[in-house]
DNA sequence: TATGAATGAGTCTTCATTCAT
DNA sequence: TATGAATGAAGACTCATTCAT
């Protein structure tokens, strides 16, 4: 308890603090929170800076523009994960059916459930007004993401586990419910009462069941 | 003449003022077009007014604010459609599988394909910033819509055509890809090149196939 | 005297005054004064608006940008004068020597002496930083101005009054001292004491004497 | 050792600090280059520091402010030249006409052509905003410069080569085109296409011809 | 002396909203 | 009712200057 008496003097916040190393991370954190909460254009850079405990100017020391800040948030939270995820799936042992289910469940656990899914919602909501962001997101997230899913499907087809299907189209069938889920969570799900009755995990498993049922080779005796 | 005596206070319609009554409608029309095309914040009220052939000041005579205008657009363009659709499905003759497919294809034909789907995108995009709209939309659109789909599923279950399933959850599986499709069309679909390769009709049929495959009773010999 | 007692109530400055007709002129006036006093980039649009008695927003109602405002000032005060000046010189009766002297003296009387000459100084000073302004000024002022002077020289050459000279080069010789004079007036002339001893009129007459002496046909008996 | 005792406080120069003494010079050099290239306000102190190979903070160790740096650049680069030039002209042998031509041609060769002429342009451009610089420039550059030219003219008058003229005014006639030329080179000459057609050397010779034609005694037979 | 991270005042421009006519 | 001139708050970004190290 004497600690709390000692600290007031030590804790006097210095006006200027030099912490180059940690600044970008703090800013990225603040930016993620605000972008997810308010959307891209409704988020003011000054607010991001304030939340990170720095001045407006400092933010522009680390990021060239608001758009650049956003891209960094996307890279930090999503794009940079792909190498790890790809690795994970290259070393996956088990049926492709399990793999597909694992992929969607992980997706929900690692992204969908977290605030990061707000980024997806934001991009889809504001893509019209910020074409460069749409382009960037497509390149850095959608393409690698689709490729990952396509890889799973092709694995199943090649092993004879799945029927020969148009994997390009099937990717959309896999991705659509996930994106729907993330959008929903950050729009109607956050407001409307009845919308919350949908259980994401249950929904995902049902989707996987449907997909597998459709894609699996059915051997009639 | 007695006609004019019957409803003088509620609907007195002297020729000279006829025009005035259509003003809100013209503004709503213009607003729909622009909101769908540009999104909420990128749409300038002056442009809406200009498109409706009136001045900026006049718009504020009918709508308290831009937000109010947005609400009015949403109200005007959606809730009214359900009675007709419900009627149509009550008189539908054919299998429930056909009925489901017809429902989704019609949905795309009548809403998805048209600019009205932009409203769905708009509402979902802006729900965070306009909780009241989200609530309204859920009540007036989502609930009736889900009820309609649930009706089809229950019809199939009752007739023994579908397996006994959790229709509440299944509704989400049916609705999700449609909403995804409409969102996509108005966001990434309008920007990203690769996004355009998805063919909506094909996608819908695949979804229906999947759903039916999963829900249909499979009688093994 | 009772007037002054009556007026206080009538004179209460209204917050909003509608005077579309006079606004641009008032703004142009204020802009000219401030641009000349402070230069282009040091002049803040808000200050221009304040000096014209309107808000910042109002300025942008009449001029698209600060640069646009500046161009309007140039047009209003210089470029628009050329038709009149050209007319004047086409109808000039007298020797070309008189005409040249008249041109430079008028130039000083109508532009050099007035605050408008500050525009010339400003453009030359800031041309580097605002290439579009430089381009505009060259097109709208320098070219027509040079053409006017060239016209006088050619008239003299054609009539046999002047020697056959390279009029293109001679134009520069005519123009240089005038521009120098205007620059000087708005830079060193405004600050340095000794710089003010130069008498512009006397300087101009000397320049004309020099020029004519050099260009005139000298017939030795 | 006594050396170090003689000037320890004022000019102690240990090897390790030698470098420091050249810092201001390097900064001045960098500042000259950038000020001439971009003008005063468009030059960023960070860029000056970078070009001098030091950090932004170091610059402010030697110069109180950007304005102070500007003043130092002006001081460093001009006043020192006059003693040498004066000497040269006191020992000149030849006609005063040749001398005048030589003076202007040298002026162009040594100053006008080089980046140093940018200083003249800079001072005249910024004189309004920096009255102190204007005063300084007049005292240290304009007065000595005019004196030099006046000396040439008086030499010619005294020798009977030139007519008896108002040398004070004539100095302006000599100087004006040179200053014009230097200003032009660094403003419109750098931007406007048509402005580049003027050939400086040709222009100077024409000016000298004109001047001499006007000042020389013409002996009619 | 040297660094460079941090600051924050300054500036143009947009646009929803108001209000005199 | 209708107009459209006027308002002013808001927001991204810059950069000279400061100061902890």
Classify residue C143: in a domain, yes or no.
yes
Give the range of the structural domain holding residue C44, as residue numbers without chain letter.
3-65
User: Shortest Cα distance from B75 to chain A (angstroms)?
Assistant: 16
* Count of domains for chain D: 2
B13 — pLDDT class (breaks 50, 70, 90): very low
Q: Is C214 an 8 Å CB contact of chain D?
A: yes
Classify residue B221: in a domain, yes or no.
no
Contact assignment for B213 to A214 by CB distance below 8 Å: yes
Tens-binned pLDDT, residue by residue, of chain D (221 aa): 344 434 444 444 443 444 556 778 999 999 999 999 888 888 999 999 999 999 999 999 999 999 999 989 988 887 777 788 888 888 999 999 999 999 999 999 999 999 889 989 888 888 888 888 888 888 888 889 999 999 999 999 999 999 998 898 889 888 888 988 888 788 766 655 444 446 788 889 888 988 887 777 665 55
A165 burial (CB, 10 Å; 0-12 / 13-18 / 19+) is middle
Q: With an 8 Å CB cutoff and a minimum of 3 pairs, decide whether chains C and A touch.
A: no
| Whether B108 and B40 share a structural domain | no
CATH number of the domain where residue C138 is located: 1.10.357
- The mean pLDDT of chain C is 86
For the CA of B26 and the C1' of F4, the distance in angstroms is 20
pLDDT of amino acid D191: 55
Return the SS3 of C162. strand
pLDDT of amino acid C51: 95
| Whether D83 and D59 share a structural domain | no
Q: Residues of chain A with pLDDT > 90: what percent?
A: 61
Closest chain D residue to C183, measured at CA: D124
Length of chain A equals 221
Classify residue D72: in a domain, yes or no.
no
**CB distance A70 to A31 below 8 Å:** yes
Classify residue A71: in a domain, yes or no.
no
Classify residue B71: in a domain, yes or no.
no
Least reliable range by pLDDT among A66-75, C105-114, C125-134: C125-134
pLDDT of amino acid C4: 43
In whole angstroms, give the CA distance from residue C136 to residue B184. Answer: 46
The last residue of a domain, from among B39, B65, B91: B65
Interface of B with A in 124-183 (CB under 8 A): 124-129, 131, 134-135, 137-138, 142-143, 168-170, 172-173, 176-177, 179-181, 183
B165-221: pLDDT as tens digits: 888 888 988 988 898 889 888 876 665 544 445 678 888 988 888 888 777 766 555
Length of chain B equals 221
Classify residue C70: in a domain, yes or no.
no
For the CA of B56 and the C1' of F2, the distance in angstroms is 10
- Please report all neighbours of B, defined by 3+ CB atom pairs within 8 A: A
| Whether D37 and D86 share a structural domain | no
CATH number of the domain where residue D45 is located: 1.10.10.60
In whole angstroms, give the CA distance from residue A163 to residue A215. Answer: 6
Q: Quick one: average pLDDT of B61-87?
A: 86
What's the predicted TM-score (pTM) here? 0.83
| Whether B151 and B208 share a structural domain | yes
User: Shortest Cα distance from A209 to chain B (angstroms)?
Assistant: 8
In whole angstroms, give the CA distance from residue B216 to residue B164. Answer: 9
Least reliable range by pLDDT among A88-92, A183-187, D47-51, D154-158: A183-187
Q: Residues of chain A with pLDDT > 70: what percent?
A: 86
Residue C9 has pLDDT above 50, yes or no: no
| Whether D118 and D203 share a structural domain | yes
| Whether C104 and C199 share a structural domain | yes
Residues 6 or more apart whose Cβ sits within 8 Å of residue D108: D178, D181, D200, D201, D204
C118 — pLDDT class (breaks 50, 70, 90): very high
Q: Which two tokens stand for residue D149?
A: 């030219």
| Whether D195 and D154 share a structural domain | yes
Q: Quick one: average pLDDT of C142-156?
A: 96
Q: Is A76 an 8 Å CB contact of chain B?
A: no
In whole angstroms, give the CA distance from residue C43 to residue C41. Answer: 5
DSSP B52: H
Which one has a higher pLDDT value, A140 or C188? A140
| CA distance to A181, C2, C210, D214, D220, per residue, from D97 (Å) | 91, 75, 15, 12, 19
Classify residue C193: in a domain, yes or no.
yes
In whole angstroms, give the CA distance from residue A102 to residue A110. Answer: 12
Classify residue A220: in a domain, yes or no.
no
DSSP percent split of chain B into helix, strand, coil, nearest 5: 80, 0, 20
Bases of chain E below 7 A from a protein C-beta are 1-21
A124-134: pLDDT as tens digits: 888 888 989 99
Q: Is A206 an 8 Å CB contact of chain B?
A: yes
User: Shortest Cα distance from C53 to chain D (angstroms)?
Assistant: 25
C194 — pLDDT class (breaks 50, 70, 90): low
In whole angstroms, give the CA distance from residue B21 to residue B63. Answer: 14
Nearest residue: Cα versus C1' of F11? A44
The last residue of a domain, from among C24, C42, C65: C65
The last residue of a domain, from among A39, A65, A91: A65
Closest chain B residue to A211, measured at CA: B210
In whole angstroms, give the CA distance from residue D103 to residue D114. Answer: 16
Q: Is B219 an 8 Å CB contact of chain A?
A: no
Contact assignment for C138 to D188 by CB distance below 8 Å: yes
B152-165: pLDDT as tens digits: 999 999 999 998 98
Bases of chain F below 7 A from a protein C-beta are 1-21
Q: Which two tokens stand for residue C45?
A: 């649009």
**CB distance B170 to B210 below 8 Å:** no
| Whether B57 and B139 share a structural domain | no
| Whether B29 and B131 share a structural domain | no
pLDDT of amino acid D196: 47
What dihedral angle (degrees, nearest 10) is formed by the CA atoms of D192, D196, D197, D201? 150
| Whether C44 and C96 share a structural domain | no
What dihedral angle (degrees, nearest 10) is formed by the CA atoms of D57, D60, D65, D67? -100
- The mean pLDDT of chain B is 82
**Residue A218 φ/ψ, nearest 5 degrees:** -100, 110
Half-sphere exposure of B197 (CA within 13 A, CB side): 11
**CB distance B182 to B198 below 8 Å:** no
Which residues in A lie closer than 8 A to residue B117 (C-beta atoms)? none
pLDDT of amino acid D76: 85
A20-60: pLDDT as tens digits: 677 889 999 999 999 999 999 999 999 999 999 999 999 99
**CB distance D141 to C188 below 8 Å:** no
pLDDT of amino acid D106: 93
C34-87: pLDDT as tens digits: 999 999 999 999 999 999 999 999 999 999 999 999 999 999 999 999 999 999
Q: Which nucleotide's C1' sits nearest to the alpha carbon of A57?
A: E7
A173 — pLDDT class (breaks 50, 70, 90): confident
| Whether B94 and B46 share a structural domain | no
Q: Which nucleotide's C1' sits nearest to the alpha carbon of A55?
A: E7
In whole angstroms, give the CA distance from residue B34 to residue C174. Answer: 58
| Whether A86 and A110 share a structural domain | yes
Q: Which nucleotide's C1' sits nearest to the alpha carbon of A60?
A: F13
């Amino acid at each position: 308890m004497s600690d709390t008496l000692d600290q007031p003097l030590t804790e006097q916040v210095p006006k200027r603090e030099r912490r180059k190393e940690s600044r970008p991370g703090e800013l990225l954190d603040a930016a993620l929170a605000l972008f997810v909460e308010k959307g891209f254009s409704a988020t003011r850079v000054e607010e991001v800076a304030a939340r990170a405990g720095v001045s407006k100017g400092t933010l522009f020391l680390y990021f060239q523009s608001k758009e650049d800040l956003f891209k960094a948030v996307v890279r930090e939270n999503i794009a940079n994960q792909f190498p790890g995820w790809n690795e994970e799936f290259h070393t996956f042992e088990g049926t492709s059916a399990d793999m597909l289910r694992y992929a969607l469940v992980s997706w929900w656990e690692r992204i969908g459930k977290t605030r990061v899914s707000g980024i997806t919602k934001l991009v889809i909501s504001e893509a019209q007004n910020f074409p460069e962001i749409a382009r960037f997101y497509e390149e850095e997230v959608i393409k690698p993401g689709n490729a990952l899913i396509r890889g799973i499907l092709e694995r199943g087809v090649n092993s004879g586990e799945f029927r020969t299907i148009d994997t390009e189209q099937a990717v959309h069938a896999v991705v659509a419910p996930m994106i729907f889920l993330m959008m929903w969570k950050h729009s109607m799900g956050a407001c409307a009462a009845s919308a919350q009755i949908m259980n994401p995990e249950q929904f995902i498993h049902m989707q996987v069941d449907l997909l597998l049922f459709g894609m699996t080779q059915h051997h009639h005796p």
